[in-house]
Amino acid sequence: DSETDAILSVQDLRKSFGGITAVDGVSFEIEPGSITGLIGPNGAGKSTTFNLISGAYTPDSGTIVFDGTDITGYRPDRVATRGLVRSFQIARELPEMSVLENVMLAPQHQLGETLYRSVLPGFRSGVETQERELRERAWETLEFFEIDHLATENAGNLSGGQRKLLEMARVLMTDPEMILLDEPLAGVNPTLEQKLIERLHELKADGYTFLFVEHDMDIVMNNCDPIIVMHQGQKLAEGAPETIKEDDRVLEAYLGG
Ligand code: ADP
Ligand code: MG
């Protein structure tokens, strides 16, 4: 049943800032291998929910269980080490370094030097082997996102869309199980957007799980299943795209602002 199968389970999550309750008792479960959409009007609490799940914020109450472990209150690097990675955390690529270097350094940056060394396979076999394996994996990842031709380019010279592909490549280098995407297509041209979406579906087929915040309704309806709708800090609706599309409460929430 869905409760035992969930890779991520959020129960009665709450977070207030002063007088504002940004997340007001939200519960949901994420199926492994899904691309789950998280939508809702501005101020609904989507980013706060992401911040709570990724460990950037500590919830006032509620629990977050990932892959069978209660990660409530874990710091972001510890959440990432568990395999739950938020793309935006490593969006700050190093502009003066090459694309290849940025991809090679991602696990270290994300997980922290010490943890990185202990999780990297083959570490004990020596620094040279470690470096070679890392380099090979970096190249494969660049090829997967079709940015290998940019390997020697400074990351700072990439277009907005290419930077998003680099960001995804860096996320994958940390070997995640589940990826939190907060508007990953913002500023991406249609060609690259299509490429990124295709890669998401390939990664989904490989067993990766995504929780995806995106404001473009067509993209969400065509690529996410199920969809969770938030409104005023609460979960308003949840279900397949066809169901969400026809839910009057969802329409009202968007019209009401
Ligand atoms: P969304 O991502 O759905 O647009 P947010 O989670 O960013 O919504 O915001 C939900 C509510 O919480 C908003 O009213 C917002 O102003 C408030 N909020 C979010 N983060 C903070 C913060 N760090 N300090 C104060 N208020 C915040
Ligand atoms: Mg937001």
Identify which of 15, 17, 181 to mutate to test ligand 1's pocket (most ligand atoms within 8 A of the CB): 17
Domain 91-175 belongs to what topology? Rossmann fold (3.40.50)
The answer to whether the Cα torsion of 163, 168, 171, 173 is positive or negative is negative
Which residues belong to CATH 3.40.50.300 in the chain?
1-83+177-257, 91-175
Q: What is the pLDDT of residues 6-30, one digit of tens each?
A: 999 999 999 999 999 999 999 999 9
What percent of the chain has pLDDT above 90?
68
pTM recorded for the entire structure:
0.89
Look at residue 188 in the predicted model and tell me its pLDDT: 84
What secondary structure, in 3-state letters, does 77-95 show?
HHHHHCCEEEHHHHCCCCC
Q: Are 210 and 30 in contact (CB under 8 A)?
A: no
Q: What is the ipTM of this complex?
A: 0.98
Contacts of 250 (CB under 8 A, 6+ apart): 229, 236, 237, 244
Say if ligand 1 is within 6 A of residue 232 CB. no
Q: Half-sphere exposure (CA, 13 Å, Cβ side) for 127? A: 0
Q: What is the pLDDT of residues 33-75, one digit of tens each?
A: 999 999 999 999 999 999 999 999 999 999 999 999 999 999 9
Say if ligand 1 is within 6 A of residue 206 CB. no
Residue range 249-255: mean pLDDT, rounded: 91
Q: Determine the CATH number of domain 1-83+177-257.
A: 3.40.50.300
